[in-house]
Amino acid sequence: MSLNKILILGSEGFIGLHVIQKGIKNGYQVFGCDIVKHSNIEYNYFNISVDTNAFCTLLSEVSFDCIINCAGSGNVFFSIENPIQDFLLNVSNVLFILEAIKKYQKSTKYIHISSAAVYGNPETLPIKETSLISPISPYGFHKVQSEILCKEYAQLYGINIFIVRPFSVYGPGLKKQIIWDTFQKGKINKIIELSGTGNETRDFIYIDDLTDSLFHLIISKIESFEIFNVATGNEISIKYFLQKLLQHLGWNHKLLFNQTVREGDPKFWKADISKLSSVGFSSKCMIDDGLSKTAKWLLNEA
Ligand SMILES: NC(=O)c1ccc[n+]([C@@H]2O[C@H](COP(=O)([O-])OP(=O)(O)OC[C@H]3O[C@@H](n4cnc5c(N)ncnc54)[C@H](O)[C@@H]3O)[C@@H](O)[C@H]2O)c1
C-alpha cells in the first residue's frame, strides 16, 4: 500500500513547515492545518479553531494515509511559566486528535512528535528508547503523558501509532532556544551571556535530517506501536556548537557562560539511533553545513 496523502498538524510551525516542504518535494499530496497561516508556501491548508471538536470536523470530511502531529508546543521555559497552556497543547490536544482518528480514520498512520525531554538527565549515555523516563520540566512530563495517550489508543483501539523523540533540532525558522537566544543577545551586545558552563552537551540534529527521518517512518512497513529517538548520535558541547555558529555569522563576539543552571535544562545528551537507522535513516547534514544555512537565515530573514 502506498501512503500518498499526508496531513501535517501545526503546519505553520517550525517543524510543520519543513515537513510540508519536504512532503511536496518528495511528491506527496500534502495537506496542513494550523490555527494561523503566516507562510507564503502553497499547499492544501485548513484553518482550524482551538475548539475541542475541530479535529473531528476535519477528519470527518477528508481522509489521509498518514497524519503527523507537529502541533505541540516545543519550549521547556514556556512550560515552566505556562504549565496549563503547555498541557493543553501537548496533552489535551493529543487526546482530541486521537479521538478524532479513532472515530473517523482508524486506518491512518499517526506519527506523534514527542521529545527527548522525556529522558531528563540520564545516568548513562547514549540514551536508548528503553532508557529510564525521568523528565525534569513540565514540558517533559507533558510529553510523557502524550506518549501514554498514544499507547492507550494503539493498544485499546488498534490505531497505527509511531512516536518520535527528537533531540535538539535546529535550522532556519526556529525562533526559540539556544541559537535564537544567542543571536538576539549578540545583536545588542558583543559579550553574549549564557547560562551553564558551555560544557553541557547536546545531540543536535538539523531540521532536514529530522524531516527525512519522518519520511522514512511514513514508508516503513514496521508495525505499530514503536518509539524512535531522532538525532545524529553525536554529542557536542554547547560551547563548541555556538562558537561554530559565531564563525558562520561572521561575528567576533565573546561567549560568557555564567555557570548558573537553568531549571529544566539537561546536562548531557547523546542518543542511540540504532533503531531509527534500522528503518533506513542516516544523518546527512554535518554541523558546519547546518549552521551555515541557519546563520544565513538569521542574517537575512530573522
Ligand atoms: N523545535 C524543537 O527543537 C523540538 C524538539 C523536540 C520536539 N519538538 C516537538 O515538535 C513539535 C513542533 O515543534 P515546533 O518547534 O515546530 O513548534 P512551533 O511552536 O514552531 O509550531 C507549532 C505549531 O502548531 C500550531 N498549533 C497550535 N495549536 C494548534 C491546534 N490546535 N491545531 C493545529 N495547529 C496548532 C501553532 O500555531 C504552530 O504553528 C512540538 O510537539 C514540539 O514539542 C520540537
Percent of the chain past pLDDT 70, that is, above it, reads 99
* Average pLDDT for the chain: 96
State residue 3's pLDDT score: 73
- Give residue for cell 516503513: 220
What is the pTM (predicted TM-score) of this model? 0.97
Pocket test for ligand 1, best of 41, 55, 73 (most atoms within 8 A of CB): 73
Q: Where are the beta strands (DSSP E) in the chain?
A: 5-9, 29-34, 44-47, 66-69, 109-113, 160-166, 168-170, 191-194, 201-202, 204-206, 226-230, 236-237, 254-257
Dihedrals φ, ψ of 93, to 5°? -60, -35
Q: Is the pLDDT of residue 45 over 60?
A: yes
Q: Is 69 helix (H, G, I), strand (E, B) or coil?
A: strand
Tell me the pLDDT tens digit for each residue of 50-61: 888 899 999 999
Tell me the pLDDT tens digit for each residue of 260-290: 999 999 999 999 999 999 999 999 999 999 9
What average pLDDT does the segment 222-233 reach? 96
Task: Name the closest-CA residue to atom 3, ligand 1.
Answer: 169
Q: Give the chain's domains with CATH numbers.
A: 5-171+204-234+269-285 (3.40.50.720)
- 250 CA distance to ligand 1 middle (Å): 30
Contact (Cβ atoms closer than 8 angstroms) between residue 30 and residue 13? no
State residue 80's pLDDT score: 96
C-alpha to C-alpha distances, 219 to 11, 54, 210, 215, 283, nearest whole angstrom: 20, 28, 15, 6, 17
State residue 2's pLDDT score: 66
